[in-house]
Amino acid sequence: MLSIKNLTASINGTPVLKGIDLEIRAGEIHAIMGPNGSGKSTLGKVLAGHPSYEVTGGEVLFEGKNLFEMEADARARAGIFMGFQHPIEVPGVSNASFLRLAYNKKAEAEGRDELDPLEFDDFIHGKIKVVAMRSEFLDRSLNEGFSGGEKKRNEILQMAVLEPKLAILDELDSGLDIDALRVLGDAVNTLQRADRALLIITHFPRILEIIQPQFVHVLSGGRILKSSGKELALELEERGYDWVLAEAAAGGAR
């Protein structure tokens, strides 16, 4: 589904991603872990099409198509979803209207029927149950005045509405208490299917106990230093990141 080859990217002239290779197939769950500042969010934003990042080399194919020939919105309509580490507040636009708009833009792109406000109301009330959101959050302005946890809940609600093929979730657990993490983790699990894939970005392993990846990659200094099965997450929880860095340094010296 997603094929990343030797991807390099920089921001304001500073290289951040220094040669990333990653293959994600349908049905898979991958986790990218790594210390703060290692380039995890950058990878997510480059994949989602943030205009501030400059792709300086390499290639990314999404379902065989060159991702870098699509603008951010085209990528979204093609089925890529990014759950943000810091979701943006948009005053004056109600959450429900925004969700309906996003849903209908995607439906239009896929040649499906758009939903009118009444139909959407039914639809969205089914979805908010999945993320245990109270319906008054639908009438409030998009993310405005939401707590960190409420914003994350809203990100997963958007994911449930848009049903992406590939969801990239950046630090879903930050700002969430353990109960909310359980609810949202379970919601993400229910959305996962054989024709969808997940890329979980996190520097805390605890979320990976709920959303269990088949593959764990350690990113540091803009490179993937180690890739392994889900047992790597446990090892990182026990031993931290330093040993991976040391191992990689030794490997590099060899």
Ligand X SMILES: Nc1ncnc2c1ncn2[C@@H]1O[C@H](COP(=O)(O)OP(=O)(O)O)[C@@H](O)[C@H]1O
What are the residues binding other proteins (CB under 8 A)?
48-52, 71-73, 75-77, 81-82, 84, 87-88, 90-94, 97-98, 100-102, 104-106, 109, 117, 141-142, 158, 162
Question: What's the min distance (Å) between Cβ of 97 and other proteins?
Answer: 5
Measured from the CB atom, is 10 or 94 closer to other proteins? 94
Size of the site for Mg ion (CB under 5 A): 2
x-or-dash string of contact with ligand X, 27-46, rule CB under 6 A: -------x-xxxxxxx----
Say whether residue 190 binds ligand X (CB under 6 A).
no
Q: Which does 158 bind (CB under 5 to 8 A by kind): Mg ion, other proteins, ligand X, none?
A: other proteins
Torsion (CA) 61, 155, 140, 91 in degrees, nearest 10? -50
Question: What's the min distance (Å) between Cβ of 58 and other proteins?
Answer: 21
x-or-dash string of contact with Mg ion, 36-75, rule CB under 5 A: -----x----------------------------------
Measured from the CB atom, is 150 or 170 closer to ligand X? 170
Say whether residue 12 binds ligand X (CB under 6 A).
yes
Say whether residue 13 binds ligand X (CB under 6 A).
no
Question: What's the min distance (Å) between Cβ of 229 and other proteins?
Answer: 30
Q: Which two tokens stand for residue 129?
A: 């149950």
Measured from the CB atom, is 22 or 138 closer to Mg ion? 22
Say whether residue 8 binds ligand X (CB under 6 A).
no
- Residue whose C-alpha is closest to residue 200's, from 242, 244, 159, 252: 159
Chain-centroid distance of CA 118 in Å reads 30
Measured from the CB atom, is 159 or 207 closer to other proteins? 159
Question: What's the min distance (Å) between Cβ of 93 and other proteins?
Answer: 4
Secondary structure in 3-state letters for 5-55? EEEEEEECCEEEEEEEEEEECCCCEEEEECCCCCCHHHHHHHHHCCCCEEE
Q: Give residues in contact with ligand X (CB under 6 A).
A: 11-12, 14, 16, 34, 36-42
